[in-house]
Structure 1
């Protein structure tokens, strides 16, 4: 199997879609997720979730089926017990995020929220609770299996002010000036045309609307061996934007008040465990030195300018 990142955007989306469908296949069959993809939990919950689950069961949240040391270093321990205790277990296990944008976006009652790349729906469901019945939360995803899990999770949670949409984040199926807050969780790095994603985000936000996403970024220059590896791309590594480029693309899309806040910093071993082991292994000593600690999870804030009166 060719493991090189395709140059064609649609081929890249198809490759990412296939890997994510494969990763959540067991959840559709009500089985623990054991796939190792972008932010897979390897059938293990972070320590903060274990006090809200039945540890006598045999599901993936049981202490009998896994130890906390197996948790993926990128996705582990992002949500607190109070948040996770309100959600279906499948929403937790389907999460592929690298942060908790709902906790950092300062959502307000009555706001309309859009999650780009909503996956199993964890951030959409949490957002819907935060904005209350007067608000609304949309989730956009391109993967049928993820959408199926998300809708099942919505029904199980009994949340009404939510809609999951099928589409790509480069072409958001919502009208201009319709969303108060855009969130995303470790997804923009997977997009082929990140500039187009940011332009679309700016288009659908209301004047003064907020962009508040968690993403993987690189503080420096990514070695070519990492950039070209498809598994590394699907593992949220190869497609990561360099911080300065991210800022430039936001400015070019028309955003202001841009802030980048590092929330986690990763070692080479943690990056390897997150899906880039093969490409990390071929780095020379200088490349390893330049890469160590430079991949980070970050919370990225920006604002669409308000209309001038």
Structure 2
């Protein structure tokens, strides 16, 4: 698909997720469409899951970037692909009244849902903006920390996404990203699957290419903090929770090859103080 077609498909699918309150399972679900169980699987504590407004956690992540972000009071945090606002609300508690959290999402339904959640939860230091990661509606050098959870793999131009992240960070600012990456070549049936792209798999970049894109944007001290194997059985999408493997003739060898290629990774990077 062309980049514009990819964005259209992603907007449509995640718009439906927002409207259906998480009934579309993400690639992280591993057999369950219950967002709280997904959260536990990818590293969120019971306190985290209980503290955010109901409906903020849609089970769309593949890691917990907030856990290792070392958020300080008074900081400005930006969440790329903020969805219904789950990570934003967790960050809000950590930055306190003197801090600020900005969530950016390209899906209008997600922004509306996040704003409703913020209003219901009484959050005063969180705002949500409609926009694309490759062209962020955020001022230069205005953010202390960027987080993102299983979103940049949906962006066709990942180099542009990292350049934008670098632009909006203050010198010395940091970025923590959880994402799906590849350790090999995906089988053709996955690479060509629209369902797999929206499920964060076929749009994923090769691991070293992903890290190189961060470095080429100007980031330093790029470090993989966590890494875990992924399974094709975790790729679910659609209101009926239809797996992309259904109806396809796939050999056991192809299936095992695909599973070995897919990895969930959390990476940390820093914008140089002298930038």
Q: TM-score, normalised by structure 2?
A: 0.90
SS in 2 for 1:163: strand
Q: Does residue 176 in structure 1 map to residue 166 in structure 2?
A: no
Q: Is the 8 A contact 2:42 2:62 kept in 1?
A: no
Deviation at 1:290, TM superposition (A): 2.8
Aligned equivalent of 1:104: 68
Deviation at 1:286, TM superposition (A): 4.4
Deviation at 1:37, TM superposition (A): 4.2
Q: How far apart, CA to CA, are the structure 1 residues paired with 2:35 and 2:131?
A: 29
Aligned partner of 2:15 among 21, 27, 51 = 21
Q: How far apart, CA to CA, are the structure 2 residues paired with 1:196 and 1:151?
A: 27
SS in 2 for 1:83: helix
Aligned equivalent of 1:214: 178
Aligned partner of 1:82 among 25, 40, 47 = 47
Choose 1 or 2 for highest CA Rg.
1
Q: Does residue 143 in structure 1 map to residue 110 in structure 2?
A: no
Q: TM-score, normalised by structure 1?
A: 0.80
Q: Is the 8 A contact 1:217 1:298 kept in 2?
A: yes
Q: Does residue 35 in structure 1 map to residue 2 in structure 2?
A: no
- Structure 2, unmatched stretches of 5+, are none
Q: Which one is further off, 248-257 or 273-282? A: 273-282
The structure with higher relative contact order (CA 8 Å, sep 6+) is 2
Distance of aligned partners of 1:283 and 1:194 in 2 relative to their CA distance in 1, 3 Å threshold: farther
Q: Is the 8 A contact 1:110 1:131 kept in 2?
A: yes
Q: Is the 8 A contact 1:20 1:37 kept in 2?
A: no
Q: How far apart, CA to CA, are the structure 1 residues paired with 2:145 and 2:210?
A: 19
Aligned equivalent of 2:245: 278
After superposition, the CA RMSD in angstroms is 2.4
Q: Is the 8 A contact 2:174 2:268 kept in 1?
A: yes
Q: Is the 8 A contact 1:232 1:276 kept in 2?
A: no
Aligned equivalent of 2:271: 304
Q: Is the 8 A contact 1:213 1:301 kept in 2?
A: yes
Distance of aligned partners of 1:43 and 1:250 in 2 relative to their CA distance in 1, 3 Å threshold: closer
Distance of aligned partners of 1:39 and 1:285 in 2 relative to their CA distance in 1, 3 Å threshold: closer
Distance of aligned partners of 1:116 and 1:133 in 2 relative to their CA distance in 1, 3 Å threshold: same
Deviation at 1:293, TM superposition (A): 3.5
Tell me how many residue pairs correspond in the alignment.
271
Q: Does residue 11 in structure 1 map to residue 5 in structure 2?
A: yes
Deviation at 1:105, TM superposition (A): 1.1
Distance of aligned partners of 1:287 and 1:262 in 2 relative to their CA distance in 1, 3 Å threshold: farther
